[in-house]
Amino acid sequence: MLNVTARLDLMSKILDTLKAVVEDAKFDFKENSLHIRVVDHSHVAMIQMDIDSAAFDTWELDETSIAFEIDVVRNLVSLGTPEEMLNLKADEGTGMLNAKLGNVEGELRTIDPSTITVPALPPLDPKCKVHLSGNDFIRILKAAALGGDMMTLAISGDHFTVSASGTNSNIQVNFHKDDLQLFEYDNPAHSQYSLGYLQPLNKVIGRVETLEIGFGENYPLAINFAFHDGAVEVKYFLAPRVEGDI
C-alpha cells in the first residue's frame, strides 16, 4: 500500500534530475524516506537520491518498490502549477500507479521493479573538492558547451579551472579559491568528463546554493547537492573519460 502527496514543484525537480540519466526508475519507499538509484545504460553516469518523508504532505505506506517510466508522471506534473499537489497511490500487484492532480486522475502503468538495473555506487574518496553555487555551475556547463562535448576539470595553485576544446575555440572558466565556497586538494589533478550527461542538470540546479564537487586525477566526478530545504539529497557520479579513449 502506498499513498503519498507532494507539491508539483518538488515532484518535477525529482523527476527532471533523474531524467538527466535514465528513462525509467525504481522508487524504493521505506518507512521514513524514499530512495532512488539510477545508472545510464552505458554505466557512465549514476544518481543516488534520498528524500526525507518530511518533504511529502501525505506519507502513508507499507515499504514497497515501484518502477515507472519517468515521462509518464512528468507529463502529468506538467498539467499543473508549482503549488498544486500530486497524489500517488499504489496497491500491491496491480501493476498500476494511481495519480491524482486536482480533478485529473491518471492510471499509470508501472514497470516490474526487478527489471530495472540498480547500480551499486562505487565508494568514492575524491582528493579535490570545490563548493560553488548552482548558477556558477550552470555557467560552467554553458561555457564548456561552446568548446565541445567534453570538459576538463583541473585544480592547481590557487585555481579551479574548467576547460573545453573545440575546432575553433578553447574555453576556460577560472575560479580563484577566494571565489569558491570551498577549495581543497592534495596534489594538482585534472580529469575529463562527457558534457552530455551533465547538461540536463541545468534545469534543476539553478537555485541550489551549494553544489559540492569532488574529483581527482582521472577519477570519477561526484556532485552532491540538496533541494527542498535539504529534504532531497542528490549524489551524482560521472565516470572520467580517460584521455586516449575515443
Residues contributing to the site for a copy of itself (CB under 8 A): 69, 72, 75-76, 79, 103-109, 139, 142-143, 146, 167-175, 179
Closer Cβ to a copy of itself, 48 or 172, answer by number: 172
Closer Cβ to a copy of itself, 55 or 205, answer by number: 205
* Residue environment code for 168-201, b if the CB has 16+ CB neighbours within 10 A, otherwise e: eeebebebeeeebeebebeeebbbbbbbebbbbb
Q: Torsion-angle region of residue 77: left (phi > 0), alpha (psi -120 to 50) or beta?
A: alpha
Closer Cβ to a copy of itself, 72 or 121, answer by number: 72
Q: Determine how β-strand 211-215 pairs with β-strand 128-132.
A: antiparallel
Alpha-carbon span 131 to 144, nearest angstrom? 18
Closer Cβ to a copy of itself, 45 or 151, answer by number: 151
